[in-house]
Amino acid sequence: MLRTARALTASLALGVALLIVPAASPSPAIGVGSLPECRLDDILTIPRGYDDWSHTLVDWILSVGPGYKPPDLVSISRAGVTGGGQIRKVAFDDLEAMAGAARADGTPLGNVSAYRSYRTQKALFNSYAKGYGFDRAINFSARPGHSEHQLGLVIDFAAAGTSKFVSETTPTGRWLAKNAWKFGWLMSYPRGKQDRTCYSYEPWHYRYFGRDLAAEIHDSGLTTREYLWSHYTTVDPKTGEHVSTASPAPSGSTAASPPPGEIPPAPAAPAAAPTTTPSGTDSMGAPISPPAAPAGTWFGLEPPIVLTAALLVLVSIGLVVSLRRARRPRRR
Ligand SMILES: [Zn+2]
Protein backbone atom coordinates (compact mmCIF):
# COMPACT_ATOMS: atom_id res chain seq x y z
CA MET A 1 0.00 0.00 0.00
CA LEU A 2 2.74 2.44 1.05
CA ARG A 3 4.83 1.30 -1.88
CA THR A 4 1.96 2.00 -4.29
CA ALA A 5 1.47 5.50 -2.87
CA ARG A 6 5.22 6.21 -3.22
CA ALA A 7 5.20 4.98 -6.80
CA LEU A 8 2.22 7.19 -7.54
CA THR A 9 3.96 10.27 -6.09
CA ALA A 10 7.19 9.53 -7.99
CA SER A 11 5.30 9.06 -11.27
CA LEU A 12 3.45 12.33 -10.81
CA ALA A 13 6.68 14.18 -10.03
CA LEU A 14 8.36 12.69 -13.09
CA GLY A 15 5.40 13.58 -15.28
CA VAL A 16 5.34 17.18 -14.05
CA ALA A 17 9.12 17.48 -14.57
CA LEU A 18 8.82 16.15 -18.13
CA LEU A 19 5.99 18.55 -18.77
CA ILE A 20 8.04 21.54 -17.61
CA VAL A 21 11.36 20.77 -19.36
CA PRO A 22 10.26 20.90 -23.03
CA ALA A 23 8.16 23.99 -22.37
CA ALA A 24 11.21 25.88 -21.06
CA SER A 25 13.35 25.40 -24.18
CA PRO A 26 11.91 27.01 -27.33
CA SER A 27 12.34 25.23 -30.61
CA PRO A 28 15.27 26.94 -32.39
CA ALA A 29 13.82 26.41 -35.87
CA ILE A 30 10.32 27.68 -35.08
CA GLY A 31 10.50 30.60 -37.50
CA VAL A 32 12.08 28.88 -40.48
CA GLY A 33 8.76 28.02 -42.11
CA SER A 34 7.82 31.68 -42.00
CA LEU A 35 10.83 33.01 -43.88
CA PRO A 36 9.50 35.22 -46.66
CA GLU A 37 10.66 34.31 -50.12
CA CYS A 38 13.12 36.47 -52.03
CA ARG A 39 10.71 39.04 -53.43
CA LEU A 40 11.61 42.63 -54.19
CA ASP A 41 9.62 45.14 -52.19
CA ASP A 42 10.09 48.40 -50.31
CA ILE A 43 8.64 47.77 -46.85
CA LEU A 44 10.11 49.77 -43.97
CA THR A 45 11.72 47.34 -41.53
CA ILE A 46 10.70 47.10 -37.86
CA PRO A 47 12.56 47.55 -35.55
CA ARG A 48 14.84 50.22 -37.03
CA GLY A 49 15.65 52.59 -34.15
CA TYR A 50 19.35 53.35 -33.84
CA ASP A 51 19.37 51.47 -30.52
CA ASP A 52 17.84 48.41 -32.23
CA TRP A 53 20.97 48.03 -34.36
CA SER A 54 21.60 44.35 -33.58
CA HIS A 55 18.02 43.34 -34.50
CA THR A 56 17.43 45.50 -37.57
CA LEU A 57 16.97 43.49 -40.74
CA VAL A 58 17.30 44.73 -44.29
CA ASP A 59 16.89 42.38 -47.23
CA TRP A 60 15.20 42.25 -50.67
CA ILE A 61 11.90 43.16 -49.01
CA LEU A 62 12.83 45.35 -46.05
CA SER A 63 14.44 48.78 -46.13
CA VAL A 64 15.55 51.37 -43.58
CA GLY A 65 14.62 54.18 -45.96
CA PRO A 66 16.67 57.13 -47.24
CA GLY A 67 16.86 59.02 -43.93
CA TYR A 68 18.67 56.32 -41.94
CA LYS A 69 22.15 57.47 -40.95
CA PRO A 70 23.69 56.08 -37.73
CA PRO A 71 24.63 58.91 -35.35
CA ASP A 72 27.82 57.35 -33.99
CA LEU A 73 30.04 56.55 -36.98
CA VAL A 74 33.76 56.34 -36.21
CA SER A 75 36.89 55.74 -38.25
CA ILE A 76 37.89 52.10 -38.77
CA SER A 77 41.62 52.73 -39.07
CA ARG A 78 41.90 53.45 -35.33
CA ALA A 79 40.84 49.83 -34.72
CA GLY A 80 43.90 48.55 -36.57
CA VAL A 81 42.23 47.79 -39.89
CA THR A 82 43.68 49.27 -43.09
CA GLY A 83 41.69 50.90 -45.89
CA GLY A 84 39.79 53.74 -44.20
CA GLY A 85 36.02 53.88 -43.89
CA GLN A 86 33.61 54.13 -40.96
CA ILE A 87 31.53 51.87 -38.73
CA ARG A 88 29.28 52.51 -35.72
CA LYS A 89 30.94 53.02 -32.37
CA VAL A 90 28.98 50.06 -30.95
CA ALA A 91 31.11 47.77 -33.13
CA PHE A 92 34.45 49.44 -32.57
CA ASP A 93 35.80 47.64 -29.49
CA ASP A 94 35.11 44.18 -30.86
CA LEU A 95 36.52 45.15 -34.24
CA GLU A 96 39.71 46.32 -32.53
CA ALA A 97 39.91 43.06 -30.55
CA MET A 98 39.32 41.00 -33.69
CA ALA A 99 41.89 42.96 -35.68
CA GLY A 100 44.43 42.38 -32.89
CA ALA A 101 43.74 38.64 -32.80
CA ALA A 102 43.93 38.35 -36.59
CA ARG A 103 47.22 40.26 -36.63
CA ALA A 104 48.65 38.00 -33.91
CA ASP A 105 47.75 34.98 -36.05
CA GLY A 106 49.55 36.44 -39.08
CA THR A 107 46.45 37.52 -41.03
CA PRO A 108 45.97 41.26 -40.41
CA LEU A 109 42.72 42.78 -41.65
CA GLY A 110 41.92 45.45 -44.22
CA ASN A 111 38.69 47.06 -45.35
CA VAL A 112 37.35 47.44 -48.88
CA SER A 113 34.02 49.05 -48.01
CA ALA A 114 32.20 49.72 -44.73
CA TYR A 115 29.47 52.33 -44.03
CA ARG A 116 27.71 53.53 -47.17
CA SER A 117 25.06 56.22 -47.21
CA TYR A 118 21.74 55.80 -49.05
CA ARG A 119 23.07 58.13 -51.72
CA THR A 120 26.32 56.22 -52.21
CA GLN A 121 24.44 52.92 -52.35
CA LYS A 122 22.09 54.35 -54.95
CA ALA A 123 25.00 55.35 -57.17
CA LEU A 124 26.74 52.00 -56.66
CA PHE A 125 23.69 49.87 -57.38
CA ASN A 126 22.78 51.90 -60.44
CA SER A 127 26.27 51.52 -61.84
CA TYR A 128 26.06 47.74 -61.39
CA ALA A 129 22.59 47.62 -62.92
CA LYS A 130 23.84 49.63 -65.85
CA GLY A 131 26.88 47.44 -66.35
CA TYR A 132 25.39 43.99 -65.71
CA GLY A 133 21.65 44.45 -66.05
CA PHE A 134 19.22 44.76 -63.15
CA ASP A 135 18.45 41.03 -62.92
CA ARG A 136 22.11 40.13 -62.42
CA ALA A 137 23.01 43.10 -60.23
CA ILE A 138 20.27 42.40 -57.69
CA ASN A 139 21.99 39.10 -56.79
CA PHE A 140 25.15 40.77 -55.53
CA SER A 141 24.22 44.37 -54.78
CA ALA A 142 21.41 45.87 -52.71
CA ARG A 143 19.06 48.61 -53.82
CA PRO A 144 19.44 51.84 -51.79
CA GLY A 145 17.81 51.53 -48.37
CA HIS A 146 18.21 47.74 -48.47
CA SER A 147 21.97 47.52 -47.88
CA GLU A 148 23.46 46.32 -44.61
CA HIS A 149 26.26 48.78 -45.33
CA GLN A 150 23.82 51.63 -44.57
CA LEU A 151 23.45 50.20 -41.03
CA GLY A 152 27.11 51.08 -40.35
CA LEU A 153 27.69 47.56 -39.03
CA VAL A 154 29.34 45.92 -42.04
CA ILE A 155 32.85 45.55 -43.34
CA ASP A 156 33.84 44.01 -46.67
CA PHE A 157 37.19 42.58 -45.59
CA ALA A 158 40.48 42.41 -47.45
CA ALA A 159 43.94 41.33 -46.34
CA ALA A 160 45.67 44.31 -44.70
CA GLY A 161 47.17 46.76 -47.17
CA THR A 162 45.12 45.48 -50.11
CA SER A 163 41.70 46.35 -51.52
CA LYS A 164 40.86 42.87 -52.81
CA PHE A 165 37.95 41.03 -51.21
CA VAL A 166 38.98 38.02 -49.13
CA SER A 167 37.80 34.54 -50.10
CA GLU A 168 37.74 31.40 -48.01
CA THR A 169 40.76 30.12 -49.94
CA THR A 170 42.94 32.99 -48.68
CA PRO A 171 44.46 32.87 -45.16
CA THR A 172 42.62 36.05 -44.07
CA GLY A 173 39.26 34.81 -45.39
CA ARG A 174 39.77 31.45 -43.70
CA TRP A 175 40.67 33.14 -40.42
CA LEU A 176 37.51 35.26 -40.56
CA ALA A 177 35.26 32.30 -41.44
CA LYS A 178 36.58 30.43 -38.41
CA ASN A 179 36.93 33.21 -35.84
CA ALA A 180 34.85 36.31 -36.66
CA TRP A 181 31.73 35.07 -34.81
CA LYS A 182 33.69 34.91 -31.55
CA PHE A 183 34.13 38.69 -31.81
CA GLY A 184 30.49 39.35 -32.74
CA TRP A 185 30.79 39.33 -36.55
CA LEU A 186 28.96 36.99 -38.95
CA MET A 187 29.14 36.35 -42.69
CA SER A 188 25.77 37.57 -43.98
CA TYR A 189 25.69 35.66 -47.28
CA PRO A 190 27.33 32.24 -46.92
CA ARG A 191 27.89 29.73 -49.71
CA GLY A 192 24.88 27.76 -50.95
CA LYS A 193 22.27 29.77 -49.01
CA GLN A 194 21.01 32.15 -51.67
CA ASP A 195 17.49 30.73 -51.48
CA ARG A 196 17.41 32.08 -47.90
CA THR A 197 19.65 35.17 -48.01
CA CYS A 198 18.62 36.27 -51.54
CA TYR A 199 22.24 37.23 -52.31
CA SER A 200 25.02 35.19 -53.85
CA TYR A 201 27.96 34.02 -51.75
CA GLU A 202 30.02 36.88 -50.27
CA PRO A 203 32.85 35.49 -48.14
CA TRP A 204 34.12 39.04 -47.46
CA HIS A 205 30.91 40.68 -46.15
CA TYR A 206 30.59 40.51 -42.35
CA ARG A 207 28.02 42.21 -40.15
CA TYR A 208 28.41 43.00 -36.47
CA PHE A 209 25.77 41.67 -34.02
CA GLY A 210 27.60 41.80 -30.67
CA ARG A 211 29.23 38.72 -29.19
CA ASP A 212 26.20 37.20 -27.46
CA LEU A 213 23.78 37.41 -30.38
CA ALA A 214 26.48 36.40 -32.88
CA ALA A 215 27.19 33.27 -30.81
CA GLU A 216 23.47 32.43 -30.68
CA ILE A 217 23.05 32.84 -34.44
CA HIS A 218 26.26 30.91 -35.11
CA ASP A 219 25.07 28.02 -32.89
CA SER A 220 21.61 28.00 -34.50
CA GLY A 221 23.06 27.09 -37.89
CA LEU A 222 20.68 29.60 -39.48
CA THR A 223 21.64 32.48 -41.73
CA THR A 224 21.43 35.92 -40.16
CA ARG A 225 18.38 36.73 -42.31
CA GLU A 226 16.53 33.61 -41.13
CA TYR A 227 17.43 34.28 -37.51
CA LEU A 228 16.32 37.92 -37.51
CA TRP A 229 13.06 37.16 -39.34
CA SER A 230 12.19 34.40 -36.89
CA HIS A 231 13.24 36.13 -33.67
CA TYR A 232 13.11 39.90 -33.98
CA THR A 233 11.55 41.29 -37.14
CA THR A 234 8.02 42.48 -36.36
CA VAL A 235 6.64 43.62 -39.69
CA ASP A 236 4.25 41.74 -41.93
CA PRO A 237 6.31 40.95 -45.05
CA LYS A 238 3.31 41.44 -47.33
CA THR A 239 1.43 44.42 -45.90
CA GLY A 240 4.15 46.30 -44.03
CA GLU A 241 1.93 46.40 -40.91
CA HIS A 242 3.56 46.20 -37.51
CA VAL A 243 2.85 42.84 -35.88
CA SER A 244 3.23 41.92 -32.22
CA THR A 245 5.60 38.96 -32.68
CA ALA A 246 8.29 37.88 -35.11
CA SER A 247 7.52 35.33 -37.83
CA PRO A 248 4.20 36.68 -39.07
CA ALA A 249 2.15 35.03 -41.80
CA PRO A 250 3.68 31.58 -42.28
CA SER A 251 3.93 31.06 -46.01
CA GLY A 252 4.60 27.36 -46.61
CA SER A 253 7.66 26.85 -48.77
CA THR A 254 10.29 29.55 -48.76
CA ALA A 255 11.70 30.23 -52.19
CA ALA A 256 12.53 28.70 -55.51
CA SER A 257 15.92 27.06 -55.91
CA PRO A 258 18.73 29.58 -56.23
CA PRO A 259 20.13 30.57 -59.57
CA PRO A 260 23.55 29.09 -60.36
CA GLY A 261 26.10 30.59 -57.95
CA GLU A 262 28.30 33.26 -59.32
CA ILE A 263 31.10 35.24 -57.82
CA PRO A 264 30.37 38.94 -58.11
CA PRO A 265 32.95 40.94 -59.98
CA ALA A 266 35.25 43.40 -58.32
CA PRO A 267 33.47 46.62 -57.43
CA ALA A 268 33.44 49.32 -60.04
CA ALA A 269 33.60 52.99 -59.26
CA PRO A 270 30.10 54.32 -58.62
CA ALA A 271 28.50 56.22 -61.46
CA ALA A 272 29.17 59.91 -61.12
CA ALA A 273 25.58 60.94 -61.76
CA PRO A 274 23.04 58.63 -60.12
CA THR A 275 20.23 57.61 -62.43
CA THR A 276 16.79 56.46 -61.37
CA THR A 277 16.32 52.92 -60.13
CA PRO A 278 15.27 50.55 -62.92
CA SER A 279 11.59 49.75 -62.93
CA GLY A 280 10.01 46.31 -62.96
CA THR A 281 11.32 45.46 -59.52
CA ASP A 282 8.21 43.52 -58.59
CA SER A 283 8.64 40.92 -61.30
CA MET A 284 11.53 39.09 -59.67
CA GLY A 285 9.87 36.94 -57.04
CA ALA A 286 7.70 33.86 -57.44
CA PRO A 287 4.00 34.15 -56.48
CA ILE A 288 3.38 34.20 -52.76
CA SER A 289 2.24 30.86 -51.36
CA PRO A 290 -1.11 30.87 -49.54
CA PRO A 291 -0.82 30.99 -45.73
CA ALA A 292 -0.52 27.52 -44.23
CA ALA A 293 -1.31 26.32 -40.72
CA PRO A 294 1.79 26.53 -38.52
CA ALA A 295 3.59 23.20 -38.84
CA GLY A 296 5.16 21.32 -35.93
CA THR A 297 2.45 21.85 -33.29
CA TRP A 298 -0.38 19.65 -32.01
CA PHE A 299 -3.46 21.51 -30.77
CA GLY A 300 -1.25 24.59 -30.60
CA LEU A 301 1.29 22.85 -28.32
CA GLU A 302 4.72 21.37 -28.95
CA PRO A 303 4.45 17.59 -29.62
CA PRO A 304 6.66 16.60 -26.62
CA ILE A 305 4.28 18.44 -24.26
CA VAL A 306 1.21 16.72 -25.68
CA LEU A 307 2.90 13.29 -25.50
CA THR A 308 4.09 13.86 -21.94
CA ALA A 309 0.65 14.99 -20.81
CA ALA A 310 -0.99 11.91 -22.38
CA LEU A 311 1.60 9.64 -20.75
CA LEU A 312 1.03 11.29 -17.39
CA VAL A 313 -2.74 10.76 -17.61
CA LEU A 314 -2.32 7.08 -18.56
CA VAL A 315 0.19 6.40 -15.76
CA SER A 316 -2.09 8.11 -13.20
CA ILE A 317 -5.15 6.09 -14.29
CA GLY A 318 -3.16 2.85 -14.06
CA LEU A 319 -1.89 3.65 -10.60
CA VAL A 320 -5.31 4.68 -9.28
CA VAL A 321 -6.77 1.42 -10.55
CA SER A 322 -4.04 -0.66 -8.93
CA LEU A 323 -4.41 1.34 -5.69
CA ARG A 324 -8.13 0.53 -5.56
CA ARG A 325 -7.45 -3.13 -6.24
CA ALA A 326 -4.93 -3.20 -3.40
CA ARG A 327 -7.46 -1.63 -1.01
CA ARG A 328 -10.23 -4.11 -1.89
CA PRO A 329 -10.44 -6.96 0.67
CA ARG A 330 -9.49 -10.28 -0.73
CA ARG A 331 -12.37 -12.73 -0.75
CA ARG A 332 -10.86 -15.89 -1.76
ZN1 LIG B 1 29.36 44.16 -48.48
How many Å lie between the centroid of ligand 1 and the Cα of residue 282? Answer: 23
CA–centroid distance, 115 to ligand 1, in Å, is 9
Residue 202 C-alpha to ligand 1 middle, in angstroms? 8
Spacing, Cα 156 to ligand 1 middle (Å): 5
How many angstroms is it from 55 CA to the middle of ligand 1? 18
Q: What residues pair up with 101 in beta bridges, in sequence order?
A: none
Q: What digits encode the pLDDT tens for the residues 180-235?
A: 999 999 999 999 999 999 999 999 999 999 999 999 999 999 999 999 999 999 99
Q: Could you tell me which residues are beta bridge partners of residue 298?
A: 301
Residue 149: CB atoms within 10 Å:
23
Q: Tell me, in angstroms, the distance from the centre of ligand 1 to residue 157's CA.
A: 8
How would residue 246 be classed by pLDDT, with cut points 50, 70 and 90? confident
Please give the share of the chain, as a percent, with pLDDT higher than 70.
Answer: 64
Longest dimension (CA), the chain: 104
Bridge partners of 185, per DSSP, are 208
**CB < 8 Å & 24+ apart, contacts of 45-54:** 45/233, 45/235, 46/233, 46/234, 46/235, 46/242, 47/232, 47/234, 53/88, 53/90, 53/151, 53/152, 53/153, 54/209, 54/210, 54/213
The pTM of the full predicted model, rounded to 2 decimals, is: 0.68
Q: What is the pLDDT of residue 96?
A: 98
Who has greater pLDDT, 160 or 308? 160
Q: Per-residue pLDDT averaged across 57-76, rounded? A: 98
Asked if the model's pLDDT at residue 29 lies above 70, the reply is no
pLDDT digits (tens, 9 = 90+) for 266-299: 444 443 333 333 333 222 222 223 333 333 445 5
Expressed in angstroms and rounded, the spacing between residue 289 Cα and the centre of ligand 1 is 30
- Kindly report the average pLDDT of the chain as a whole number: 78
